[in-house]
A and B are shown apart, each in its own frame.
Chain A
Amino acid sequence: MSAGQSTMAEETRRSLRERLGDAVSTGTADRVAYAHDASPIALRQAAAGELPHLPAAVVWPETPAQVAAILRWAQATRTPVIPYGGGSGIVGGALPVPGGVVVDLKRLNRIREIDETSLVATVETGINGQILEDRLLARGYTLGHLPQSIRASTLGGWIAHRAAGVASTRYGKIEDIVEALEVVLPTGEVLTTRSVPRSSTGPDLDQLFLGSEGAYGIVTAATLAIHHAPEAREFQAYALPGFDTALDAIRRVIQRELRPAIVRLYDAEEAKPHLGGLGLPEGAVMLLWGSEGPRELVDFELKGIRHICEGEEVVDLGSGPGERWWNHRLSTAALLNTLNTPASVSDALEVTGSWSQLGAIYRAMKADMLAAAGTRGRVYGHVSHVYQTGANLYMIFHATAASEDEVPALYDRILDAAFTACLDRGGSLSHHHGVGSTKARWLPIEHGETGMRVLRDVQAVLDPAGIMNPGVGFHGNGR
């Protein structure tokens, strides 16, 4: 780690101070603090005092105009820009590069307007997710976007990575929730789209920026669809004899047009702690449903779910497992405990595939990840976001290398096994965490040469100097 302030950093600081006043730092503490996000390898390295790159500076703009001033300056000086939200991303989407400036958006955190007739809220993107939800709940509304990281992540991070919350089957993912955006383009121009439910005026500009991971600009505000806070929330869980049986049950519920907010299927290994002592056969899985909304809707959905799920080989586990999950849903302790273990690494890889491929993707990923993880590895998984046509898979691994030095290579081998297995069977390598720098090298396999060229050509037009979050997503092959 080079903690000292370079001459370049001093020049950067002077230039930025002219534009932002005191909201600029080139101090050691700030540069160290922004040297990592929550991606597993970066996190382990940071805790060991290894910080490969410190940013040259960190800035905290409070207005879109200040963001525009930063980007104009960065474009002119070809200074890399790393947009930053809550730092909770786990794919290396907010890691600094040498000479880069981190733009932390957390001071852009105002709720500009809540339109209680149209049920939309216009909000600045640095707002913390839980604080946004709290302010909405106080007025009787919910965003319905409740990711596991809600207390840490920001609206801007959700948009940058095309995030999904745990209740997404009812409320939609962030791309379904966003009605309009205010974006500062890399050249400093500001694009504002209209808040309308739909339009037929060419390709959807909002969708261009959702998932662009900072490469196409910095989203400074969004207009979001909100909902009345749910009147009721109920859970129902079942034990089923196998993963494929449970996948089939989910598919039939969803294809019967039911949209319960929460659907979670845990494979045999992940379900084991919940099913112990019930005398169930080996391989039993747990399927957990959660329905919320108006009372009549909840009753109707749960009735439909029971009708499809209940049968001879199914054990009714009642509401307890769902309630326990809800109360502990924010914990990532299992993953972090492994990261705190010498020479060990863990991660949760969230891929997606169609119903016809999902079982095969699960089996192939599990087998190949286990083989890559070695004898001291564990792999398990669950489904947590479902659609008419398919679902996601959360494949979680824990592995221990022979030494600390070998952890990055082990991690890379497991990811390669996982993504190759998924992509070979028609899946996508990310459902909602994004690509970041961690997954960038597999992205060309998913999009192909033509797809990558389209993405890069768009960036070249929007960001002529190529300064926006380099090394992330379609910007390159990682760092």
Chain B
Amino acid sequence: MRLDAFAGDLRRNAIIHDQDLFAAPEVIATGKQTFAPSRRALLLELVRTGVLGWEPDVVDAVYAGLDSGVQHAFSVYRGEPGGWPDETPYVRAARADIVDAGMAPVYVQAIADAFRATGDPFGGTAGEEPRPGEVVHFTDAATRALAPETGAAARRIIAQVLPELGVLGSGSGGYELYDLGLWEDAATAIRATVDALQKLGARTVVSESPEAVVALTRFAAALGIRHDLEVCHLSAWLVARGYTPRGVVPHRRATYHDSSRLGRGLGVYDAPRALLAGVPGLELVEMQYRREEAIPTGPALGYPFPEAIPAMAERRLTEAMETGADLVVVASPYAKRNLRFAPVSDPPAIRDLLDVLAEGQEN
């Protein structure tokens, strides 16, 4: 079992008493202690030692984890001697063990089936025709499925900076597949995307999807897939290229939500803020929990309890609204989708960073 490599971490986390339970949105939204990191560690340790098997509700508890790293970011034990491990690596290993054991739940198997049939975990179709270039804009499957307008906005912004831009709007970065334990499929997806990018002559790949950047860098390395592509999030690339936002937007005060993958995952906190700060007439205000401590808006793909998403989103959107912002800016197609589920009255506008920049540019 892959979990065997994490025996010490499981034991250590099984004994924490969730001093930071409030930073486990899956517990707060569902009310279930079962989804606390300590309980997940205990269940996994019991499976690892043969006391329990991969029973359906144990599997659900494993997939209920958001893999956001947020509780680890808040952990009061993190700086202590010996540290306290982030659960994300062993949760992903457990999911891969579940898949290997042929116990993938239906909500995961459906994604595997969609990917195997279409090359896209969402079962979607390819977007724009590919176009060669040294810099290629990759629009990942999640953006195509959940926020195609953001992919289009990104394209318009990049075109202002680099008209000879390459384009890849098909395939999958593989983030969702790896995260759900479908590691063979993830490797297939990453290899196919890397091959496609290389055929287009790409040396640099930019994407508005932090998930794609994580997958093409971190997950590729974890799966032993080597490539020499430079992959970066569009916000960092735009700042590095000296992009200056133009035009005004119909909002006066914005707050920025740090996505788990872009923030805690890739360490990109400043570039989106720098871009927003440059939008004429737009005041940037901060939420209480931001940067490394940003509370997630909800899950990515393949979550076993979609009915919990509105409560997770409501909590984050409430925090955003408490800043007095009339615009909430995100940098992930999942954050955009999740926040729109929040059952709040008179919500502020919810836009991706690229939507905002494009809107300004066009005004």
Contacts and interface: CB of A to CB of B under 8 A. Distances in A.
A414 B330 CA distance: 53
B288 A138 contact: yes
Given A1-B51, A3-B52, A49-B51, A331 B19 contact: yes
B110 interface: no
B288 A28 contact: no
Contact of B45 (A34, A49, A128, A138): A49
Interface string A116-133: 000000000010111100
A130 B71 CA distance: 14
A30 B18 contact: no
A152 B20 contact: yes
A337 interface: yes
A339 B14 CA distance: 11
Interface stretch (A40-48, A274-282, A394-402, A436-444): A40-48
B27 A88 contact: no
Interface stretch (B53-61, B150-158, B264-272): B53-61
B360 to A, nearest CB: 29
A264 interface: no
A30 B51 contact: no
Contact of B46 (A44, A49, A339, A340): A49
Which among B31, B39, B80 has the highest number of chain A CB atoms within 10 Å? B31
18 contacts: A3-B51, A28-B58, A29-B60, A32-B39, A43-B15, A60-B31, A87-B18, A106-B27, A106-B28, A106-B33, A107-B31, A131-B22, A152-B18, A332-B76, A333-B76, A333-B77, A337-B81, A339-B15
A332 B60 CA distance: 30
Contact of B17 (A1, A152, A328): A152
A43 B55 CA distance: 23
B31 A104 contact: yes
Interface string A326-340: 001011110011011
A38 to B, nearest CB: 4
Given A32-B43, A38-B17, A151-B21, 16 more contacts: A1-B51, A28-B58, A29-B61, A32-B39, A38-B18, A49-B49, A60-B31, A87-B33, A106-B27, A106-B28, A131-B28, A151-B20, A151-B74, A152-B17, A332-B19, A337-B82
Interface in A102-122: 104-107, 109
Contacts of A60: 30-32
Given A60-B31, A333-B80, A152 B52 contact: no
A87 B17 contact: yes
A430 interface: no
Which among B34, B36, B55 has the highest number of chain A CB atoms within 10 Å? B34
B290 to A, nearest CB: 13
A88 B80 contact: no
A27 B57 CA distance: 6
A424 interface: no
Interface string A48-65: 010000000000100000
Contacts of A337: 80-82
Given A25-B57, A33-B34, A151 B23 contact: yes
Contacts of A216: none
A86 interface: yes
Contacts of B77: 331, 333, 336
Main secondary structure of the interface of B (DSSP, over half): helix
B45 A47 contact: yes
B75 to A, nearest CB: 9
A84 interface: yes
B225 interface: no
Nearest to A36: B42
Contacts of B12: 340
B319 interface: yes
B46 A106 contact: no
Interface in B131-176: none
A104 B15 contact: no
Contacts of A406: none
B322 interface: yes
Contact of A33 (B15, B33, B82): B33
Interface of A: 1, 3, 25, 27-30, 32-34, 37-38, 43-44, 46-47, 49, 60, 84, 86-88, 90, 104-107, 109, 126, 128-131, 134-135, 137-138, 149, 151-152, 328, 330-333, 336-337, 339-340
Contacts, number: 137
A88 B18 contact: yes
B11 interface: yes
Nearest to B19: A152
B349 interface: no
Nearest to A37: B17
A157 B322 CA distance: 27
Interface in B290-325: 315, 318-319, 322
A152 to B, nearest CB: 4
Contacts of A106: 27-28, 31-33
B196 to A, nearest CB: 41
A331 B15 contact: no
Nearest to B55: A28
Nearest to B61: A29
Contacts of B14: 46-47
A220 to B, nearest CB: 14
Nearest to A38: B17
Which among A130, A333, A337 has the highest number of chain B CB atoms within 10 Å? A333
B222 interface: no
Given A3-B52, A32-B39, A49-B49, A104 B21 contact: no
B22 A29 contact: no
B337 to A, nearest CB: 23
Contact of B15 (A30, A47, A131): A47
Contacts of A44: 15
B16 interface: yes
Contacts of B32: 30, 33, 60, 104, 106
Given A28-B52, A43-B15, A87-B36, A130 B22 contact: yes
A25 B42 CA distance: 18
B43 A29 contact: yes
Nearest to A334: B80
A84 B21 CA distance: 14
Which among B30, B32, B52, B55 has the highest number of chain A CB atoms within 10 Å? B32
Nearest to A333: B80
